Structure 1
Amino acid sequence: MKRLLPLLITAPLLAEPGDTVYQKGFLSIEEAQKSIELQDGYALDLVLSNPDIHEPVAMAWDGNGALYVVEMRTYMQDADASGEQTPKSRISRHEDTTGDGIYNKHSIFIDNLLLPRAVLPLDDRIMVHITNTLDLWTYRDTDNDGVADEKIKVYEGGRRGGNMEHQPSGLIWNLDNWIYLTYENKRYRFTDGKLEVEQIPRGGGQWGIGMDDAGRNYYSAAGGEKPAFYFQQPIAYGALDLPGQEANGFREVFPIADVPDVQGGRRRVN
């Protein structure tokens, strides 16, 4: 029996570093599907694509199978980042109403956001984190029209400026019932309907956070090309750094282009 992998495709401009030009422009949806190699026994179906989504950076499903997609619609539209700080981004909502696995009902759940960074479905709400603030908000659709009409601040963290890559993202709800973000040395959980905050020894993860089936958090960062760290011990044990915690070659990358995508560019590989 073949296993089906859902596929969300947009048509981004592909700019590969290196001397070899692999393609000009971008692939069509059909070309992108043909370019993906699968192991035997797997199949690939297109379930959602542009124009129903545009410049997605994160996504999450709620308990009923509705998909929420974070769309950074103003991020680096040109080399000068023109209009980047304009609140024109959104979180869209997508449903499959026919049971065939293809999303056919689409709505703009939250519009006019400043570069949303993360989304986490809760009960009938979603929690959202946006750029330039540590505040956390929940949104709810009270009249079932697919558009949020209730907005509540559940955590006030204040302003957060600086490099966009160095701002928190994630909202990973782990097996320990705590919610984790990158960069923040805090974690969050709901207790009696209120968001509780607890300090943790350290935060990190410039480029992302994930978890495995055992509940271990994996952070990643571009600086120093760190694919995964802080997973060797539970966070309750503190901030431990031990000799030999990474095997030789652990940080080696295997790029499709001649020059790997590293922080610092060619200087890192010369």
Structure 2
Amino acid sequence: MIHPDPEDSRLSVPVSGFDQTGAEVEINVVTERALTLYLNSQEIVTMMTIGDRPDLLAVGYLLNQNMLRGDDRITGIDYDDDLEVVVVRTERETDYEDKLKKKVRTSGCAQGTVFGDMMERFDDIRLDPDARLRTSALYKLTRTINTAPSLYLAAGAIHGCVLCQEDRAVAYMEDVGRHNAVDKIAGWMWLENIAPQDKVFYTTGRLTSEMVIKTAMMGIPILVSRSGFTAWGVELARRVGLTLIGRARGQRFIVLSAPQRVIHDADPSQAEAEPARSRRKGATSGKEMS
């Protein structure tokens, strides 16, 4: 499985402080770096990110903002760590000056944004009606993801997104904003030509309109979260026929859209309860914290 490296010193740093008793402690905190994205010669956006996989983040962002078309050919992706700049070059000439004027802030963390015409092709999306998710696979996935090594366990203050197939996690990305994590997966899928029809998308964050739109635009028919819903997120999921599963923790979950894709093949009372997700030693003052 593709996943972040919790031991990567660039992704978190130790910081000294004091706890509730006044005792000195040292904890790991995630990094935040500015990354400026260019599409050919045009500056598109500056994002705050942990700094890993800038190529995937750049391509996924452009795809989900409808700035890359399905038939576009990328001729190069250049990243300069010192300048904190990533440049995506395409064979097709691009000019998004007017589009950039129609920016709309969303409910995503770290000031997530979409463009005003991002939904211009939303109603044309057709998700695979034959995709299915067995509840036995869902229970296994949530348990596996919850206990997988991650930057969250090392430092917290971060969101994760996972691309899954049946009961397997295929790609796991983390970032300070869940929109960045989903963009990284979108970029990886596009660059590696990964088919979306039989996939499940899992996120640790809320099921907002932005998460629903991006998942649907990637062509993934099922979206799962351990967190809750927003009303507009549910409305958009129902509009496009996206299966929306929230509050998926341990033996419980709630489906608010397209429930026909869920096959109830497991007795919830027989599923394992979700273990406490503890930070590993080093994230706090030598003690694990739930």
Please classify the TM superposition score into its range, dividing by the shorter chain length: 0.3 to 0.5
Higher strand share: 1
TM-score for both structures, normalised by structure 2? 0.31
Of structures 1 and 2, the one scoring higher in RCO (CA 8 A, sep 6+) is 2
